[in-house]
């Protein structure tokens, strides 16, 4: 345990973010304990990825490797993906089907519920070696964590004091998950994106509706997302999760052009694509919302951009590095045409995505430019200072303050009384 918090938040309304929070390695270690292994629920994967008995996936919680495994009866179990012998990574595959889980290092094997079932040469060879007399394999089990699913989305926690998952998510997030996961899924594929930046910088990015219409020229130019469109950011009661949403086609040309006047060619009138079907939105939800970026603290984003649906899992790789793990999906009853459309529209996002490649670049550039700052901070006040609540416009970054309010609570970081300059 630490004696003193290594950081004091410079403003009680969280309108300042100390740059040291992105680069101090002692903070990173604390985060793994207090945030990821603390009383939070972390996204692990989708039930649709492991539908049958024996199916498994490997994933992470923070930077801890996790194995999620469905047993013979169909029950999901999750364990630290580490052999209880000497710490070897137990399963190295991304996914698969297994009758048991056997470590490659010394062939210790575990059943699908995590119990040790076999150790080679238990009595040694020729009367020598082997296991000690008091070795009791029944007492050795993989380190389990608690998991719960909501609408087929699997979350896990290491903590005994986490709220029930439904309370942790809250009504606003559950409403969005009910909408997105309203029928059986079909997983379409994956992308992985290594970003050399702190994991919180990506959380900042997805809680920043303002940048969505300014950094992303493709969004603004082709009208998928403009700051002048109907949209906003819904926060849960604690302000720790965020739902950025908009409705394409709702902007007034005059207001839009006026708003983008001073920007550097973010919106290019008259631009066309050779294949305009990339932009098509086939309405499939009972509302006019064409984009939802749902960020659940601390490690996942659920995305609907037109008909491109996916989850983005944040995987920590140390203080200055993370991986985004993109799982693209559609629905079981999608037509072939719809599946093809979703796959084409998947090109909007991912490491080389027409929209989201800039996010990776922005995170990396911020990380590098603040790396050695110990007493400077970011200014987060678009959308207003003070109270943290749901926003009725896209010109806001208030959800970032909500993220840090809960983060500081978990981390035990005191917040200052006044906004620092
Ligand atoms: Fe973005």
Q: How far is the CA of 176 from the centre of ligand 1 (A)?
A: 20
Q: With a cut of 60, say whether residue 124 has pLDDT above it.
A: yes
Q: Which of 235, 204, 246 is nearest to 362 (CA)?
A: 204
Q: How far is the CA of 17 from the centre of ligand 1 (A)?
A: 19
Task: Quote the pLDDT of residue 102.
Answer: 98
Q: Which of 192, 201, 159 is nearest to 319 (CA)?
A: 201
Q: How far is the CA of 388 from the centre of ligand 1 (A)?
A: 21
Task: Quote the pLDDT of residue 417.
Answer: 61
Q: How far is the CA of 246 from the centre of ligand 1 (A)?
A: 14
CATH number of 42-148: 2.102.10.10
| Angle between helices 398-411 and 199-206 in degrees, nearest 10 | 140
Domains 42-148 and 172-411 share a fold: no
Q: How far is the CA of 202 from the centre of ligand 1 (A)?
A: 9
Q: How far is the CA of 27 from the centre of ligand 1 (A)?
A: 26
pLDDT tens figures, 263-318: 988 999 999 999 999 999 999 999 999 999 999 999 999 999 999 999 999 999 99
CATH number of 172-411: 3.90.380.10
Half-sphere exposure of 346 (CA within 13 A, CB side): 21
Q: How far is the CA of 362 from the centre of ligand 1 (A)?
A: 9
Q: How far is the CA of 216 from the centre of ligand 1 (A)?
A: 7
Q: How far is the CA of 205 from the centre of ligand 1 (A)?
A: 6
Would you list the domain boundaries of the chain? Answer: 42-148, 172-411
Q: How far is the CA of 358 from the centre of ligand 1 (A)?
A: 7
Q: How far is the CA of 7 from the centre of ligand 1 (A)?
A: 28
Q: How far is the CA of 209 from the centre of ligand 1 (A)?
A: 8
pLDDT tens figures, 190-224: 999 999 999 999 999 999 999 999 999 999 999 99
Q: How far is the CA of 416 from the centre of ligand 1 (A)?
A: 30
Q: How far is the CA of 149 from the centre of ligand 1 (A)?
A: 28
Average pLDDT, the chain: 96
pLDDT tens figures, 304-349: 999 999 999 999 999 999 999 999 999 999 999 999 999 999 999 9
Q: How far is the CA of 54 from the centre of ligand 1 (A)?
A: 38
Q: How far is the CA of 165 from the centre of ligand 1 (A)?
A: 28
Q: How far is the CA of 353 from the centre of ligand 1 (A)?
A: 11
Task: Quote the pLDDT of residue 264.
Answer: 87
User: In the predicted model, what is the mean pLDDT of residues 393-417?
Assistant: 94
Strand-pairing partners, residue 56, are: 69, 96
CA 39 distance to own-chain centroid: 16
> Which residues make up the environment of ion ligand 1, defined by Cβ < 5 Å?
359
């Amino acid at each position: 345990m630490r004696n003193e918090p290594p950081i004091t938040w410079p403003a009680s309304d969280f309108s300042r973010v100390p740059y040291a929070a992105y680069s101090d390695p002692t903070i990173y270690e604390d985060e793994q304990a207090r945030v990821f292994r603390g009383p939070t629920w972390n996204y692990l994967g989708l039930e649709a990825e492991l539908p049958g008995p024996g199916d498994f996936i490997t994933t992470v919680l923070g930077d801890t490797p996790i194995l999620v495994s469905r047993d013979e009866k169909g029950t999901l179990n999750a364990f630290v993906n580490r052999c209880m012998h000497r710490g070897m990574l137990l399963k190295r595959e991304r996914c698969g089907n297994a009758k048991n889980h056997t470590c490659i290092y010394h062939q210790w094997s575990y059943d699908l519920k995590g119990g040790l079932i076999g150790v080679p040469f238990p009595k040694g060879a020729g009367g020598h070696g082997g296991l000690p007399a008091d070795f009791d394999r029944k007492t050795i089990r993989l380190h389990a964590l608690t998991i719960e699913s909501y609408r087929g989305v699997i979350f896990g926690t290491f903590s005994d004091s986490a709220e029930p998952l439904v309370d942790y998510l809250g009504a606003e997030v559950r409403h969005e998950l009910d909408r997105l996961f309203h029928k059986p899924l079909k997983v379409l594929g994956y992308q992985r994106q290594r970003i050399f930046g702190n994991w919180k910088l990506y959380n900042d990015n997805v809680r920043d509706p303002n940048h969505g219409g300014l950094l992303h020229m493709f969004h603004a130019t082709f009208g998928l997302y403009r700051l002048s469109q109907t949209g906003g950011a819904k926060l849960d009661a604690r302000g720790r999760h965020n739902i950025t949403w908009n409705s394409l086609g709702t902007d007034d040309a005059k207001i839009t052009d006026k708003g983008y006047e001073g920007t550097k060619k973010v919106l290019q009138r008259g631009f066309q694509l050779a294949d305009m079907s990339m932009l098509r939105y086939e309405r499939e939800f009972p509302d006019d919302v064409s984009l939802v970026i749902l960020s659940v603290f601390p490690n996942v984003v659920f995305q609907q951009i037109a008909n491109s649906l996916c989850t983005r899992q944040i995987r920590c790789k140390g203080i200055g590095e993370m991986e985004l793990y993109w799982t693209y999906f559609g629905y079981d009853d999608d037509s072939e045409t719809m599946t093809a459309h979703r796959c084409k529209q998947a090109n909007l996002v991912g490491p080389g995505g027409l929209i989201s490649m800039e996010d990776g670049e922005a995170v990396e550039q911020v990380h590098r430019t603040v790396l050695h700052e110990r007493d400077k901070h970011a200014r987060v006040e678009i959308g207003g200072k003070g109270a943290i609540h749901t926003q009725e416009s896209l010109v806001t970054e208030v959800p970032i303050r909500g993220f840090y309010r809960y983060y500081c609570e978990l981390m035990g970081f005191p917040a200052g009384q006044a906004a620092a300059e």
